[in-house]
Structure 1
Amino acid sequence: MNFLIRLGVPEMFALWEGLRRGHAEGTLPKQEEELYRKWGKTMKLLAGNPFHPSLRTHEIAPLSKRYGMKVWQSYLENRNSRAMRMYWVYGPDRRDITVIGLEPHPEDKKNNAYDKVTLSDI
């Protein structure tokens, strides 16, 4: 059961293309090379199974409420204070997943930290 991962949201497409191009040219700084590698692996796992155990995918209720549709979070990494998280939604087509955000994990979800997460318009 494979999904098509869409980066149709302009900000996500531009970020991925910049990383991809820099990787191909060998010009990415170490931190961006690491992001490219981790994000690519995460999207590959997500396409095959959005609930793959290493993704630790779960719905983020405050974001779902704000955007009026289920917003999911998947891990790019773990055990890191600034661990990156990918935010996504199903659609627009039945077998599509659209990435709408890539941000460090909010510091303290008990203090409305998800209010500070800014996602692209869908």
Structure 2
Amino acid sequence: MEELWNKLQTEYRIGTISKNDAIIFKKWGKALKLLSENPRHPSLKTHDIEVLSERYGERVWQSYLENKTSGAMRIYWVYGPDKKSITIIGLEPHPEDKKNGAYERITLSDLPLMKKDES
């Protein structure tokens, strides 16, 4: 995900980004800002995705980049690897049909190695 973010950022800065990628980049940037301030910000509509949490063995959260558009983009993330940090593990269109295993077709980045609580 970091590689994709850096690519979009570079293309945006030098003016070679496509119109569609520029829209996603701006929405992703806004979502990151909101996530850093408050992962439960109302416009993000953050919620955990049980199917993905079970598959990855870590609670996986989904937040909105957009809503009420065809193929509305979602950002997937986990807490960690440190306290007070999150790691983005996916940027995908919302699966249209939750009933037919739509979340099972989503592939996310590898999870970061979580630091053990040293308390």
Cα offset, 1:121, TM superposition: 1.1
Alignment match of 1:25 (pick from 7, 14, 28): 14
Alignment match of 2:71 (pick from 47, 70, 82): 82
Distance 2:3 2:110 in 1: 15
- 1:51 is matched with 40
Cα offset, 1:59, TM superposition: 0.3
Distance 2:72 2:38 in 1: 21
Distance 1:104 1:53 in 2: 20
Distance 1:121 1:13 in 2: 12
Q: String of CA shifts for 1:14-73, please: whole Å, max 9, x gaps.
A: 100010001100111100000110000000000000000000000000000001110000
* One-letter amino acid of the counterpart of residue 76, structure 1: L
* One-letter amino acid of the counterpart of residue 112, structure 1: G
Of structures 1 and 2, the larger Rg is shown by 2
Q: String of CA shifts for 1:73-101, please: whole Å, max 9, x gaps.
A: 00000001111000000001011100000
Question: Aligned-residue CA RMSD in angstroms?
Answer: 0.5
> Structure 1 length normalisation: TM-score?
0.90
- 2:116 is matched with none
- Percent identity over the alignment? 60
- 1:6 is matched with none
* One-letter amino acid of the counterpart of residue 116, structure 1: R
Alignment match of 1:92 (pick from 78, 81, 84): 81
* One-letter amino acid of the counterpart of residue 7, structure 2: G
Distance 2:5 2:110 in 1: 17
Distance 2:79 2:29 in 1: 18
Query: Secondary structure of the equivalent of 1:93?
Result: coil
Q: Which runs of 5+ in 2 are unaligned?
A: 112-119
